[in-house]
Amino acid sequence: MKKIVLFSLLLFCGVTLFAQQKQVVEFTEKTHDFGVVKEEVNRISYDFVFKNIHSTPVTLKSVKASCGCTTPAWSKEPIAPGQTGTITVTYSTAGRPGMFTKSIAVVLSNGSEDFNETLYIKGEVTPKAQPEEESNTIGETAK
């Protein structure tokens, strides 16, 4: 029984160390919740900030949103070790009332290997207030 527990512990530690070695950047947040926003604002944006924790410069190779209503923007310059970078994600609220969750696939490179990260935005868009319809009733004439 002791051998099984020891083996499990060593396996867990090995997997944890392996996973940590593969990380090249550290995001301050991987999911951002916009909360409730009005459709009239048309666009909402959030800056995902990350730090290069690798020993070599890191480049954002590609950043792709899960749909056309979400637009990412990022620096094409390499991020030096210890420096920070930003990925700005903009969501179009126009014509999209209701709950939303969108993913952003990020591919980073340290020059010799590629690394994948996934970021998420979510929230709820409240619909625009509809203009009141004009009354179609004909008023009564006085007798």
Binned at pLDDT 50, 70 and 90, residue 4 comes out as low
Tokens 């969108």 sit on residue: 102
pLDDT in tens, 92-131: 999 999 999 999 999 999 888 999 999 999 999 999 887 7
Residue 117, domain member (yes or no)? yes
Residue given tokens 């590609």 in the structure block: 62
Read off the CATH number of the domain in which 88 is found.
2.60.40.10
Give residue 131's pLDDT. Answer: 72
Give the pLDDT score at 140.
54
CA 115 to chain centre: 16
Residue 100 forms part of a structural domain? yes
User: What pLDDT, on the 0 to 100 scale, is given for residue 17?
Assistant: 41
Per-residue confidence at 15, pLDDT binned at 50, 70, 90?
A: very low
Question: Contact at 8 Å (CB) between 50 and 75?
Answer: no
Residue 17 domain-assigned (yes or no): no
Mean pLDDT estimate for the chain: 85
pLDDT at 37: 97
Asked if residue 99 belongs to a domain, the reply is: yes
Q: In the predicted model, what is the mean pLDDT of residues 29-38?
A: 97
Q: Over the stretch 56-103, which tens digit does the pLDDT of each residue have?
A: 999 999 999 999 999 999 988 999 999 999 999 999 999 999 999 999
Give, for 108, the enclosing helix (H) or strand (E): strand 98-109
Q: Please report whether residue 18 resides in a domain.
A: no
Helix (H, G, I), strand (E, B) or coil at 22: coil
Give residue 9's pLDDT.
54
Structural domain for 90, as ranges? 24-125
Q: Does 70 reside within a domain?
A: yes
DSSP-assigned letter for residue 29: -
Tell me the CA distances in angstroms from 37 to 9, 34, 118, one per residue in order. 46, 7, 23
Nearest 5°: the CA angle 111, 117, 121 is 140
Contacts by 127-135 with C-beta closer than 8 Å and gap 24+?
127/39, 127/97, 128/38, 128/39, 128/40, 128/97
pLDDT band at 141 (very low <50, low <70, confident <90, very high): low
Number of domains the chain is built from: 1
Residue 142 lies in a domain: no
71 in a structural domain: yes
